Amino acid sequence: MKKQVIGGNKARAFLIFKMFFLIVLLLAYMVPFFLILINSFKRKSTVIKEPLVLIDPKGITLENFINAFKQMNYPLAFLNSLIISVISVTFIIIFAAMAAYVFVRTKWAASKFFFALMIASMVVPFQVLMIPLVSIYGSSLGMLNSKSSLIFFYLGFGMNLAVFMYHGFIKSSVPISLEEAAKLDGCTKFQTFFLVVLPLLKSITSTMIVLDVLWIWNDFLLPSLVLGKKELYTLPLSTYSFYGTYSNDLGKIMAGLVMTVLPVIALYLFLQKHIISGIVSGAVKS
């Protein structure tokens, strides 16, 4: 009996230790965000002299945000990021689901060949492709400096993972009997796919949306190679060029960083569960 009680105390002590450890570490993880946030409300001179002070002794100022908003061309950059992400992800999802469907439901050599090629290509890092990509589409075809080219590239780079994920899902969780029934009811192949199969792919689609939106929204290297004009810049690009131009005016920089981070964090607060489960299933499957 006694032993158990001691064991219980020990276990409780360990639990308290774990809790303490986790909370301290979580606070440490959050410190960088917190520092950026408090400094975004301070004057330039205070940021440099007193970066750790909570509130500017001369009072809170919103000037940094107003200036950064204008000088980063924030609304335009935000809109560019939004357009590029939404269109790319929509087409990746539709095209990948359609291709995966035909890859699963046929035994044709072409299906097998392209599916295998897509899986194999998943190990190729972007750095191996960026130089030839610029060479072909930039100097030979003159297709750079346009949003539609960038979207086209995202379709190509996002296709293999998406096809792989849809392939696995359709194979394991979409019953063929429903398609048989749809055929008997006189559906064409397209109707069967869009009216019967696609609605069954909801869970894997939400996973793909999370993975692809986070990737495209935050991507820097590819857009930096494709988009050379300021009016086409996405948020990461405009943040980068803003930092380069105003790196001395730290208050403004902090406000710019806060505004770049904010949309993602806000979305995360609402869709936290979906985002986390999307990330987990994406990582574990691939």
Partner 1 sequence: MAFSPSLFRKNSKISALKGMVQMNEKTLAAKTKTFLMFAGPAVFVFIAVLIVPLIYGVYLTFTSWDGISNNKPFVGLNNYIEVFKDKEFWNSLVLTLKYVAVSVVFINLIAFILAFFVTSGIKGQNFLRAGFFTPNLIGGVVLGFIWRFVFARALVSFGTAFDIDIFSTSWLSDPQKAFWAMIIVTTWQYSGYMMLIYIAGLMGVPKDLTEAASIDGATGFQATRHVVLPMMVPSFVICLFLSITRCFMVYDLNLSLTEGGPFAATRMVAMHVYKKAFEAKQYGTGQAEALILFIIVAIIGITQITLGKRKEVEA
**In the complex, least distance from residue 1 CB atom to partner 1, rounded to whole angstroms:** 18
Nearer to partner 1, 78 or 152 (CB): 152
Q: Residue 54: CB partners within 8 Å, gap ≥ 6? A: 38
Q: Residue 73: CB partners within 8 Å, gap ≥ 6? A: 230, 231, 233, 238
**In the complex, least distance from residue 197 CB atom to partner 1, rounded to whole angstroms:** 9
**In the complex, least distance from residue 75 CB atom to partner 1, rounded to whole angstroms:** 18
Nearer to partner 1, 3 or 107 (CB): 107
Give the number of other Cβ atoms within 10 Å of residue 275's Cβ: 20
User: Long-range contacts of range 151-155, CB-CB < 8 Å, 24 or more positions apart?
Assistant: 151/84, 151/87, 151/88, 151/91, 153/222, 153/226, 154/84, 154/88, 154/92, 154/216, 154/222, 155/88, 155/91, 155/92, 155/95
Nearer to partner 1, 59 or 244 (CB): 244
**In the complex, least distance from residue 43 CB atom to partner 1, rounded to whole angstroms:** 14
The two structure tokens encoding residue 166 = 């849809």
CB 46 within 8 A of CB 58: yes
Cα gap 217→278, rounded to integer Å? 16
CB 197 within 8 A of CB 134: no
Give the number of other Cβ atoms within 10 Å of residue 261's Cβ: 15
**In the complex, least distance from residue 103 CB atom to partner 1, rounded to whole angstroms:** 7
Q: Residue 76: CB partners within 8 Å, gap ≥ 6? A: 231, 233
Nearer to partner 1, 76 or 159 (CB): 159
**In the complex, least distance from residue 161 CB atom to partner 1, rounded to whole angstroms:** 11
Q: Read off the amino acid at residue 184.
A: L
**In the complex, least distance from residue 237 CB atom to partner 1, rounded to whole angstroms:** 9
